[in-house]
């Protein structure tokens, strides 16, 4: 059973057609970039998750999940390496993954 997450959290999912990891944004959409990602604390995460899950019901995304986040100013980033990997693409194919434009080492 997954451990209960505490502290800042954000919402991750996979896009239906290509499976790419995406984050629920502050304006109610989904983005592969974390810059616009919505986040909430323990009190607000359930409401945020419920809002995000409505998108899944419309078959835009699947596997909607709240994950731990770290905050830098007003931006949230995935706390765990697994989700950081989802944001950036596989570390071993920086030439081919969607992370091409990102600097793996800098993050």
* Contacting residues toward other proteins, per CB under 8 A: 14, 16-21, 56, 58-59, 62-63, 79-82, 85-86, 89-93, 96-98
Rounded CA gap, 27 and 11, in Å? 13
Q: Which is nearer to other proteins, 26 or 91 (CB)?
A: 91
Minimum distance between the CB of residue 66 and other proteins, rounded to whole angstroms? Answer: 16
Minimum distance between the CB of residue 73 and other proteins, rounded to whole angstroms? Answer: 22
Q: CA dihedral in degrees (40, 26, 69, 85; nearest 10)?
A: 150
Chain-centroid distance, C-alpha 31 = 8
């Amino acid at each position: 059973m997954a451990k209960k997450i505490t502290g800042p959290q954000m919402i991750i999912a996979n896009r239906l057609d290509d499976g790419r990891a995406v984050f629920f944004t502050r304006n109610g959409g989904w983005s592969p970039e974390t810059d616009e990602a919505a986040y909430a604390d323990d009190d607000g995460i359930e409401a945020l998750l419920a809002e995000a899950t409505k998108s899944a019901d419309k078959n835009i995304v699947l596997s909607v999940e709240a994950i731990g986040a770290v905050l830098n100013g007003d931006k949230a980033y995935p706390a765990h390496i697994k989700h950081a990997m989802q944001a950036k693409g596989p570390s071993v194919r920086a030439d081919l993954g969607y992370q091409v434009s990102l600097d793996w080492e800098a993050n």
